[in-house]
């Protein structure tokens, strides 16, 4: 959603920048710019910078941020960046007027300046998106918590009635592959766990993790087929040095009054190490709950990656076989989104088109002249756009990486993609010149035929 808002606001204010740039062009060829547009442009530029700076400062701490407040701050920061683009429009005519020795572009500023503003806005959008994507990717990768062992296939979110069909689909598409079953209670929040004599992750005094299953599930968690399984013993799967003597299971029967004492069951517990450091679970044997009269239902199906590595093709085939009764997921680590690349490519194309349009209306007498004018238009728009994009992107990186967790992780550092930004700044004028030359040649040939 933030990417869409950023794109639309920068595009909309970029159009406004084109209008202000056109209105700033003086009627007299020798004059620089009209007085009023630069004044408004300066106010918008300063206001946008102040807004972004304040928003970045208000989100620079590694603390809990409210979801709504973070969204508003992010929106305000994007608006600040768009105001910067709007305020830069009038100064493009000034830059082109200063470059008076390139007389053709300077004399035709009423037509060329708006297109250079389009190049500037598109370049600023591309640079901003690249920087924000780098910051968000780095933070999301640091915050990512795997949902299963690397390479494991999960089939989940099916109803109790669809559980047999989901299991049949997995066995049909993956014949001969063992399937691990997990269970859960029918009631909502049926039990809580207390670690006796252990230092485990807790919330309000209760252990926050716990999975129910049989020996196959335990061996999946540990990654060791020789892990001993006892039907009345809980297993704490952790990389820590916890020493657990027992686990206490406490639950209230469905329909009991609040005054009724809950059922308490203490079971012995042992500690084992997981197959992957990301796995931190408390394994509870299904027989313990069934022995207490608890009704269990299938919760998820797991294919152990030690037994079978599920390919993308197999996952897609399984999705078709399931027919929507369940969802599949293969743990492949953090997968950064790639939709931002589409925005960047589109912005670069628009920036190039703006530079060509700025130079295309001039009556160039040779392809060399057309190439020089296109390169000049691209250089002016790109230089200003890169500066604006770097400012907006580096300040937007703060509100983009806020956390709504009550115990937020520290901000992850990210490498600003300076090589990519430098390549854009240097390459776009060269590309504009390279494209302008054959376009001019084709235009001359069409005129000759007529």
What is the distance between the alpha carbons of residues 282 and 182, in angstroms, rounded to a whole number? 13
CB atoms < 10 A from the CB of 319, how many? 16
- Using pLDDT thresholds of 50, 70 and 90, give the confidence band for residue 153: very high
Average pLDDT over residues 357-383: 81
The yes-or-no verdict on residue 370 having pLDDT over 90 is no
The yes-or-no verdict on residue 448 having pLDDT over 70 is no
Domain ranges of the chain: 2-144+337-449, 153-330
Average pLDDT over residues 74-102: 83
Average pLDDT over residues 349-355: 94
The yes-or-no verdict on residue 373 having pLDDT over 60 is yes
Number of H helices, E strands in the chain: 12, 12
Residue 379 in contact with residue 119, Cβ under 8 Å? no
pLDDT digits 0-9 by tens, 36-87: 777 888 899 999 999 999 999 999 888 888 888 888 999 999 999 999 999 9
The yes-or-no verdict on residue 270 having pLDDT over 90 is no
Average pLDDT over residues 94-118: 73
Which one, of 117, 130, 94, lies nearest residue 385 by Cα?
A: 117
Q: Is 311 exposed, middle or buried (0-12, 13-18, 19+ CB in 10 A)?
A: exposed
pLDDT digits 0-9 by tens, 169-186: 999 999 999 999 999 876
What's the pTM? 0.83
> What torsion do the CA atoms of 180, 182, 233, 176 make, to the nearest 10 degrees?
-10
Average per-residue pLDDT for the chain: 84
> Checking DSSP bridges between strand 234-237 and strand 327-330, what pairing results, if any?
unpaired
- In 3-state terms, what secondary structure has residue 172? helix
10 Cβ contact list (under 8 Å, min separation 6)? 78, 81, 82, 85, 121, 124, 125, 128
pLDDT for 206? 41
């Amino acid at each position: 959603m933030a990417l869409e808002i950023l794109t639309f606001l920068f595009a909309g204010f970029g159009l406004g920048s084109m209008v202000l740039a056109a209105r700033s062009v003086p009627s007299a060829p020798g004059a620089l710019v009209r007085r009023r547009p630069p004044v408004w442009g300066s106010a918008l530029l300063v206001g946008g910078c102040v807004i972004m700076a304040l928003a970045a400062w208000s989100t620079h701490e590694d603390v809990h941020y409210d979801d709504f407040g973070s969204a508003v701050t992010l929106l305000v920061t994007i608006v600040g960046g768009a105001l910067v683009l709007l305020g830069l429009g009038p100064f493009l005519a000034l830059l082109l007027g200063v470059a008076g020795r390139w007389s053709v572009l300077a004399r035709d500023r009423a037509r060329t300046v708006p297109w250079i503003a389009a190049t500037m806005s598109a370049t600023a959008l591309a640079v901003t998106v690249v920087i924000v994507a780098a910051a968000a990717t780095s933070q999301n990768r640091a915050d990512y918590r795997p949902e299963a062992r690397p390479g494991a296939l999960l089939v989940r979110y099916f109803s109790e009635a669809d559980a047999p069909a989901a299991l049949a689909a997995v066995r049909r598409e993956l014949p001969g592959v063992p399937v691990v079953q997990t269970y859960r209670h029918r009631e909502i929040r049926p039990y809580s766990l207390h670690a006796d004599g252990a230092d485990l992750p807790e919330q309000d005094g209760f252990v926050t993790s716990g999975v129910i299953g049989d020996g196959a599930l335990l061996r999946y968690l540990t990654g060791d087929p020789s892990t001993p399984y006892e039907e009345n013993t809980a297993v704490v799967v952790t990389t820590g040095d916890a020493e657990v003597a027992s686990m206490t299971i406490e639950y209230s029967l469905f329909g009991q009054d609040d005054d009724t004492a809950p059922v308490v069951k203490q079971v012995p517990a042992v500690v084992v190490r997981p197959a992957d450091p990301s796995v931190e679970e408390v394994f509870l044997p299904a027989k313990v709950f069934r022995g207490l009269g608890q009704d269990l239902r299938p919760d998820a199906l797991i294919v152990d990656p030690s037994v079978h590595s599920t390919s993308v093709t197999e996952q897609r085939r399984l999705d078709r076989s399931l027919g929507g009764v369940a969802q599949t997921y293969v743990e492949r680590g953090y997968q950064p989104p790639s939709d931002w690349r589409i925005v960047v490519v589109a912005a670069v194309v628009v920036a190039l088109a703006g530079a060509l349009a700025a130079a295309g209306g001039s009556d160039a007498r040779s392809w060399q002249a057309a190439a020089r004018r296109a390169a000049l238009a691209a250089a002016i728009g790109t230089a200003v756009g890169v500066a604006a994009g770097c400012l907006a992107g580096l300040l937007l990186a703060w509100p983009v990486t806020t956390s709504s967790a009550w115990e937020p992780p520290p901000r992850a550092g990210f490498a600003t993609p300076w090589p990519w930004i430098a390549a854009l700044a240097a390459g776009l004028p060269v590309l504009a010149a390279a494209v302008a030359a054959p376009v001019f040649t084709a235009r001359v040939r069409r005129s000759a035929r007529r």
